[in-house]
Amino acid sequence: MLEIKNLHVSVKDKPILKGLTLSVDAGEVHAIMGPNGSGKSTLAHVLAGREGYEITDGSITYDGKNLLAMEADERARDGVFLGFQYPVEIPGVSGMTFLRAALNAVLTHRGEKTIDAIDFLKLVREKAKLLEMDDAMLKRAVNVGFSGGEKKRNEMVQMAVLDPRLAILDETDSGLDIDALRVVSAGINALRSPDRAMVLITHYQRLLDYVVPDKVHVLVNGRIQESGGKELAEKLEREGYAAFGVSEAA
């Protein structure tokens, strides 16, 4: 479903990704682990189509299409979802209005009927329940006044409502206490499906105790240095990234 080949990306002329290659099939959950500054978030943003990243070489193919030729909103309508590390606050825009507009854009793109306000409310309630989130919060301005954990849950509610085929979750576990981590993980697990691919980008292994990945990749210095199964994450947890020439202050 997702084929990244020899991806080189620079930010303000500084190379960040230096030949990243990755292949993710439908139904799979991949974890990309790496230390700070390894290029994890750059990868997430490039996949979601954020401006300010210069692709100097390589390709990204999504479902046989050139993903890099698509605008951020086109990608989203076509089933790509990025769970933000830092979800954005949007004062004045109600969460319900925003999410319904998003879902209707996605449904229209799929050639399906748009959803009316009543059915939408039902759908949101159901998904919010999954993430143990009070749906009243979604009536408030998007992410405004939300705690770190609430913002991350809100991302997962959005994912559940939009029903993407490729989900990239950027540090979804950061800033979560253990209860919130459990809830968010349960939400992610509930969305695992044979039709959906997921890429979890994370610094720590703890999320992977709850969401067990099919494959783990170690991203250091802009490239995948090693790939393996769940045991690779456990090894990283024990030994850190020292084996990849990275010394991290604990």
β-pair type (166-170, 80-83): parallel
Residue closer to another protein, measured from CB, 96 or 246: 96
Q: How far is the CB of 105 from another protein (least distance, A)?
A: 4
Q: How far is the CB of 154 from another protein (least distance, A)?
A: 11
Residue closer to another protein, measured from CB, 35 or 87: 87
**Residue 72, both tokens:** 């951020």
Is the CB of residue 121 less than 8 Å from the CB of residue 207?
A: no
Residue closer to another protein, measured from CB, 168 or 208: 168
Residue closer to another protein, measured from CB, 105 or 123: 105
Footprint of another protein (CB under 8 A): 48-51, 71-73, 76-77, 81-82, 84, 87-88, 90-93, 97-99, 101-103, 105-106, 109, 141-142, 158, 162
Q: How far is the CB of 76 from another protein (least distance, A)?
A: 4
Q: How far is the CB of 45 from another protein (least distance, A)?
A: 9
Mapped to the 3 state alphabet, what secondary structure does 151-190 carry? Answer: HHHHHHHHHHHHCCCEEEEECCCCCCCHHHHHHHHHHHHH
Q: How far is the CB of 102 from another protein (least distance, A)?
A: 4
Four-point Cα dihedral 103, 214, 86, 35, nearest 10 = -160
Q: Letter for the amino acid at 5?
A: K
Query: 134 exposed, middle or buried (CB, 10 Å; 0-12, 13-18, 19+)?
Result: exposed
Residue closer to another protein, measured from CB, 11 or 246: 11
